[in-house]
């Protein structure tokens, strides 16, 4: 089962700003990229102006393998917003690169989700002008 | 000029005022604030002319100048605003520093919310019209995935806590049960005479798994205020002074507001641990010396986590500590939230926990702990935090 | 000349709450009232939850004579610095009422050249919309 949306209510659009634009440009092209510090190679998410490890402002958008495991998850039994139809789950995925990403599963029921479940990224063109990275179970 | 080494014993709380908790106060927030301040002033035996400092929570809609022009205060020389759920401890610290530094003589700390009835003032726009960076994080990377409610954000962290320590989530129920028992004895409480049992808790519905409705607070209308002055001036006032022995605020790497998902471990409350270290060392006491705790129970599962971080029990032992409720009842070895807290008295963003700490030291609580001399208050679990150790002479 | 509102732009309506309700209900009835403390008699404007003199929360709405003098004024001439819903130029005045309180308002139909600080004025009521009446001022006969 995948996330069900209410067509009458638009999904809240992520505000795109200079610091996070590279992530969303990648997602639109169905690529999962994360900020990586050019100076020390640290992968960073969420995106930010400078690297907390070496304080460099130089960064690049590096492609992720898209593979990871479920680190944590919640299941909404009541929807907090009219766009989203409950019940649905929200996962926190830990990617191989070490960063974590909040997302949704596709084709997986809430009861089937478990911490440690291997997943890989897919892309959902949910509406006009909005693609979201989501995850499916591997294996 | 010598530098003050610590705030310990320099300041005291000398007056308190708190409204009753309700679902509809039938008053504006500004009125609630003024009324609570009036009660606190009367309690302290002071007048509006004595007040020369105001400290409030950043998002509190009752601006300092609205309070002064409604209450007829005179000249003010000190202000402070504190943010987040950590505000209560931070506000007392801000006021204590103000009087200790000689910037003001009598400082009022206040908070007023119509969280339930929603009779709120229109929130003012930030001058730039832009979202804060914290809002940006949530709207950019969480909201499009339906991760939007406060309970949902907390649930993500609670899930890891359950996973890493093999917790049976039904055991979380002892905190709300005991807080409600305490609140049921408190005539001011939204739940006066309305306790519930662990069976009621177990039967209650999941809202955002793993959180049940009874695991977290309901919105309420209420207000509270207190008066802070120097330890010297406190001696001349009518109430037993409650001294600030330790005070601290806290933020650690990758702290977010209930969204600290991106650091290595997300199953603890490192901000609370940092507060604990600082306040215990400042006060020169240890967890075993504390007679009573007032912890942030806006989300019940944060209570066992705070007990662990503050050193009252070991990592992962918090839920067992609360199991059955005996340790945390007012007769137990570590009484918790004795006026009810957010879960059992009502939600005033941690201010009522502070007021109750003062009552415990004065001996005027509705669930009085015998010989309560040292009380620890912790605010802001799950984000930037703060804490106080308060004590009698 | 009378103030003109731009129909394409929403009117700015006062935020009415429990503390100021009495003032606005009276305005709707074409009456000007001010908050008066029931315990010590102090008159205040703007409305507030407590009397600043004696801290009582008991209040009543005392009728005003409606007469006062211009205390200070501004003339909005540049559209970008004014509210787009109101056609420039328009006058905003602070009137000191006979009762001693001051209030912000507009001149109903005066021209900038005709007003001055100290000018005697009296209140009139402008029913701008079904749900919006505002007190405004005209030069007083006296």
ipTM of the complex: 0.87
With respect to residue B173, please indicate whether it lies within any of the assigned structural domains: yes
The pLDDT confidence band at residue B120, using thresholds 50, 70 and 90, is low
Judged against a pLDDT cut of 90, whether residue B291 lies above it is answered with yes
Give strand ranges (E) for chain B. 11-18, 53-57, 78-82, 107-114, 206-209, 211-212, 221-230, 242-250, 292-294, 374-379, 385-391
Model confidence at B309, pLDDT cuts 50, 70, 90, reads very high
Q: Using CA atoms, how far apart are residues A65 and B313, in angstroms rounded to an integer?
A: 41
For residue B166, being part of any structural domain is answered with yes
- Do B341 and B284 belong to one domain? yes
CATH number of C65-142: 2.40.50.840
Q: Say yes or no for a CB contact (<8 Å) between B31 and C50.
A: yes
Report the mean per-residue pLDDT for chain C.
93
Across the interface, do A72 and B156 touch by the CB < 8 Å criterion?
yes
User: In the prediction, which pLDDT does B124 show?
Assistant: 44
User: In this predicted model, what pLDDT tens digit does every residue of B361-382 receive, in sequence order?
Assistant: 999 999 999 999 999 999 999 9
Does the beta-carbon distance from C55 to B28 stay under 8 Å? no
Number of H helices, E strands in chain C: 1, 8
Nearest to A12 among B139, B149, B156 (CB): B139
The predicted-structure confidence for C1-53, as pLDDT tens digits, reads as follows: 789 999 898 888 888 999 999 999 999 999 999 999 999 999 999 999 999 99
The reply to whether B271 and B297 lie within a common domain is yes
Find the closest chain B residue to C37 by CA distance. B70
Q: At the topology level of CATH, where does A65-139 sit?
A: OB fold (Dihydrolipoamide Acetyltransferase, E2P) (2.40.50)
Total CB pairs under 8 A between chain B and C: 44
Q: How far apart are CA B336 and CA B346, in angstroms?
A: 15
The pLDDT score that the predictor gives to residue B259 is 87
pLDDT for B119: 65
Q: Where in chain A are all domains bearing CATH 2.40.50?
A: 65-139
- Lookup: tokens for B135: 């809002």
CB contact set of A116 (below 8 Å; sequence gap of 6+): A69, A70
Structural domain of B333: 151-216+245-391
pLDDT band at B133 (very low <50, low <70, confident <90, very high): confident
Does residue B127 fall inside a structural domain?
A: no
Choose the final residue of a domain: B234, B263, B278. Answer: B234
B135 falls within a domain: no
Residue of C nearest to B27 (CA): C18
Place of tokens 């809430």: A110
Same domain? B34 vs B56: yes
| B139 within some domain | no
Q: Give the minimum alpha-carbon distance from A94 to chain B in angstroms, rounded to a whole number.
A: 9
| Predicted structure pTM score | 0.89
Contact (CB<8Å) A45/B262: yes
| Closest CA relative to residue A91, chosen from A46, A137, A22, A25 | A137
| Res. B125 pLDDT band, cuts 50 70 90 | very low
């Amino acid at each position: 089962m995948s996330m069900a949306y209410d067509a009458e209510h638009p999904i809240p659009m992520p505000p795109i700003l200079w610091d996070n634009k590279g992530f969303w440009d990648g997602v639109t092209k169905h690529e999962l990229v994360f900020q990586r510090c050019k100076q020390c190679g640290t992968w960073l998410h969420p995106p930010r102006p400078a690297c907390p490890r070496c304080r460099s402002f130089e960064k690049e958008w590096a492609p992720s393998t898209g593979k990871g495991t479920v680190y944590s998850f919640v299941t909404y039994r009541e929807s907090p917003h009219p766009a989203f139809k409950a019940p649905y789950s929200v996962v926190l995925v830990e990617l191989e690169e070490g960063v974590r990403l909040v997302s949704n599963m596709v084709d997986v029921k809430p009861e089937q989700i478990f911490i440690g479940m291997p997943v890989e990224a897919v892309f959902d063109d949910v509406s006009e002008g909005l693609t979201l990275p989501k995850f499916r179970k591997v294996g | 000029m010598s530098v003050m080494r610590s705030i310990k014993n320099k300041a005291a709380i000398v007056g308190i005022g708190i409204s009753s908790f309700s679902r509809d106060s039938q008053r504006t927030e500004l009125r609630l604030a003024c009324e609570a301040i009036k009660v606190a002033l009367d309690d302290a035996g002071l007048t509006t002319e004595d007040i020369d400092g105001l400290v409030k929570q950043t998002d509190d809609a009752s601006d300092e100048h609205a309070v002064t022009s409604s209450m007829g205060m005179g000249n003010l020389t000190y202000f402070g605003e504190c943010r987040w759920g950590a505000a209560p401890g931070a506000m007392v610290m801000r006021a204590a520093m103000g009087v200790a530094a000689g910037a003001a003589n009598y400082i009022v700390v206040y908070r007023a919310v119509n969280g339930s009835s929603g009779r709120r003032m229109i929130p003012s726009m930030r001058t730039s019209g832009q979202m804060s960076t914290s809002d940006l994080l949530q709207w950019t990377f969480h909201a499009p995935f339906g991760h939007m409610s406060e309970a949902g954000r907390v649930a993500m962290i609670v899930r890891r806590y359950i996973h890493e320590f093999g917790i049976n989530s039904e055991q979380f129920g002892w905190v709300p049960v005991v807080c409600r028992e305490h609140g049921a004895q408190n005539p001011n409480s939204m739940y006066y005479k309305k306790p519930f049992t662990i069976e009621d808790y177990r039967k209650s519905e999941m809202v955002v798994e793993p959180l049940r409705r009874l695991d977290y607070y309901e919105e309420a209308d209420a207000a509270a205020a207190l008066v802070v002055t120097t330890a010297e001036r406190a001696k001349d006032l009518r109430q037993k002074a409650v001294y600030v022995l330790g005070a601290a605020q806290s933020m650690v790497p990758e702290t977010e507001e209930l969204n600290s998902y991106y650091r290595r471990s997300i199953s603890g409350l490192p901000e609370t641990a940092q507060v604990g270290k600082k306040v215990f060392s400042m006060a020169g006491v240890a967890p075993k010396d504390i007679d009573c705790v007032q912890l942030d129970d806006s989300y019940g599962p944060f209570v066992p986590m705070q007990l662990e971080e503050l050193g009252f029990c070991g990592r992962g032992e918090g839920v067992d500590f609360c199991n059955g409720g005996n340790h945390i009842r007012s007769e137990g070895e570590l009484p918790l939230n004795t006026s009810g807290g957010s879960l059992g008295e009502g939600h005033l963003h941690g201010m009522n926990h502070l007021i109750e700490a003062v009552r415990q030291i004065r001996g005027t609580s509705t669930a009085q702990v015998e010989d309560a001399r040292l009380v620890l208050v912790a605010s802001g679990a799950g984000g930037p935090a703060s804490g106080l150790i308060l004590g009698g002479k | 000349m009378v103030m003109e509102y731009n129909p394409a732009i929403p009117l700015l309506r006062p935020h009415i709450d429990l503390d100021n309700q009495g003032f606005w209900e009276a305005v709707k009835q074409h009456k000007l009232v001010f908050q008066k403390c029931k315990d010590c008699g102090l008159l205040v404007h703007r409305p507030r939850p407590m009397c600043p003199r004696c801290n009582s929360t008991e209040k009543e709405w005392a009728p005003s004579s409606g007469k006062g003098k211009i205390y200070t004024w501004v003339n909005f001439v540049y559209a970008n610095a004014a509210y787009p819903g109101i056609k420039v130029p328009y006058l905003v005045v602070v009137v000191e009422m006979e009762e001693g309180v001051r209030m912000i308002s507009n001149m109903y139909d005066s021209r900038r050249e005709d007003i001055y600080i100290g000018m005697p004025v009296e209140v009139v009521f402008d029913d701008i919309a079904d749900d919006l009446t505002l007190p405004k001022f005209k030069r007083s006969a006296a």
